[in-house]
Structure 1
Amino acid sequence: MTVDGLNLTMQVNYYSPFLLTHLLIDLMKNSSSARLIFCSSPIVSVFANLFCFGKTVNKIFGDYRISKFCVLVIADMFAEKLKCYRITSNSFHPGGVNTQIHKQFCRHRVLKYLHDILGPWVFKTPEDGAQTAIYLACANEVQNVSGRFFADLVSICKPKQLENQRLCETIWEKSEKVVKLKKDELI
């Protein structure tokens, strides 16, 4: 739990980018064009209970899945809400990247050993994992592309759950309340 009483994974992966983006909107609107890029994961397709905002989901990767699904929701919602300002919004999956974060999942000695041995062969380097984000930030061919989910430099299918507009709007509205947006910060 955070000092705000929120689930740590949700705050880091989801609420923080949601709030930061809202706080930067006016600056982006004054730009000739701007690109929002959100990091997500295809693991969201196998999520369980979505309506546990801020609470711990005691399932393997549950908090992570929910946070990454919510990221896809806001990437799409920002794409729609900001298109009249020439602000694009896309999400991407970096792939499995060999970073220190994996060590928290490898507490068992055997898992740690397997990760240390197989990690360099199975996971991308951080530099390779960053390529899609760099592409979305810099490539001319995607400067007007918005509302897409990318992996390995190409647009990929999004989870079917994103088609549920009511669910997406509920997530957006609850998130506005959780991060305590002021009236002038709402989009």
Structure 2
Amino acid sequence: MNEKVCMVTGANSGIGFAAAKGLAAQGAAIVMVCRNRERGEEARKEIVRQTGNERIELLLCDLSSLRSVRDLSEAFRSRWDRLDVLVNNAGGLFDRPQTSADGFEMTFAVNYLAPFLLTHLLLDKLQASNNGRIVNVASVMQAKALDLDAAIAPQASYSSFKAYRTAKLAVILMTYFMAERLSDTGIAVNALHPGVVYTPQSTRGVPGFLRPLAKLFMSSPEQGARLILHLAASPEAGASSGKYYAGSRAVSTVPLSYDSQLQRKLYERSLHWTGLPENAFPID
């Protein structure tokens, strides 16, 4: 990974931190995307300390804001002429209904709309690498149905896990659609389930007294990041696109995720929701 440039969102803790550290240990220049400057800078210094790699940069972004995502893209573009790997890792699970600054249901905004917009804003930089890779962190938790109008708006009968499953299904639909449309560009697009990983985010719903016990049965962030590192750095993963990985192999997702008409419908709606032009990249 020497001379490679990698962006990892949500890189100050958990799986994102482990992935950024793992890529830095392989010699890559890392762009850490974090929401909080203080925590992000602490994480950046720790990665430099542990890996000896000083080519670690911090960029700030609030992924619940499309304006902030656009600012992140501009900040990156002003510093780098290409992007070799984009790891869309950051996500959130919210225990009550919330609305983003742009009026979208918060889970959908953070877990899906933000990576959708960021990926499109950096497509030309990924293509400039001649072997760009997009790694989308999805989940084994996938909705079996998708109502696009309901997905973007907070519902009266809100369920945090239902909202999360909906957003992660959207991530997989995006992965499959973009992989096919980018098949002639040299950009590989894949998604993955990192496993059940012990992080502050994943244990929010676990009572405090049970968290030490939960840690015994959950993977570490380093274990959860292994598949990200494989898809980001291994030579064989660069030849694969449009796959969803769990464990160490490509596996199937829910039947609805292969619906090409739904993929296109979500894609076209997403262009509208994020303010992107219809020709963000050509589609048939």
TM-score normalised per structure 1:
0.90
Where 1:169 maps in the other structure, the secondary structure is helix
Cα pair 1:41 1:68 within 8 Å, conserved: yes
* Of 162-171 and 10-19, the range deviating more from structure 2: 162-171
Is structure 2 residue 37 aligned with structure 1 residue 37? no
Aligned match of 1:69: 169
Aligned match of 1:160: 255
Is structure 2 residue 264 aligned with structure 1 residue 169? yes
Where 1:83 maps in the other structure, the secondary structure is coil
Match of 1:50 among 140, 147, 150: 147
Aligned length: 181
Aligned match of 2:228: 133
TM-score normalised per structure 2:
0.60
Structure 1 CA distance for aligned equivalents of residues 125 and 202 of structure 2: 35
Greater fraction helix: 1
Is structure 2 residue 120 aligned with structure 1 residue 22? yes
Q: Deviation above 6 Å: which 4+ runs of structure 1?
A: none
Cα pair 2:271 2:278 within 8 Å, conserved: no
Question: What's the % identity of the aligned pairs?
Answer: 28
1:97 counterpart letter in structure 2: V
Structure 2 CA distance for aligned equivalents of residues 132 and 8 of structure 1: 27
Q: Note closer, same or farther for the CA distance 1:155–1:185 as it changes in structure 2 (3 Å cut).
A: same
Structure 2 CA distance for aligned equivalents of residues 36 and 24 of structure 1: 10
Computed over aligned residues only, the root mean square deviation of the Cα atoms, in angstroms, reads: 1.6
Aligned match of 2:192: 92
Q: Note closer, same or farther for the CA distance 1:37–1:117 as it changes in structure 2 (3 Å cut).
A: same
Is structure 2 residue 202 aligned with structure 1 residue 102? yes
Structure 2 CA distance for aligned equivalents of residues 17 and 119 of structure 1: 29
Where 1:37 maps in the other structure, the secondary structure is strand
Structure 1 CA distance for aligned equivalents of residues 235 and 141 of structure 2: 29
Where 1:42 maps in the other structure, the secondary structure is coil
Unaligned runs of 5+ in 1: none
Aligned match of 2:212: 117
Structure 2 CA distance for aligned equivalents of residues 16 and 154 of structure 1: 27
* Of 153-162 and 131-140, the range deviating more from structure 2: 153-162
Structure 2 CA distance for aligned equivalents of residues 161 and 48 of structure 1: 7
1:14 counterpart letter in structure 2: Y
Aligned match of 2:240: 145
Structure 2 CA distance for aligned equivalents of residues 47 and 163 of structure 1: 11
Q: For residue 177 of structure 1, report the CA deviation from its aligned partner.
A: 0.7
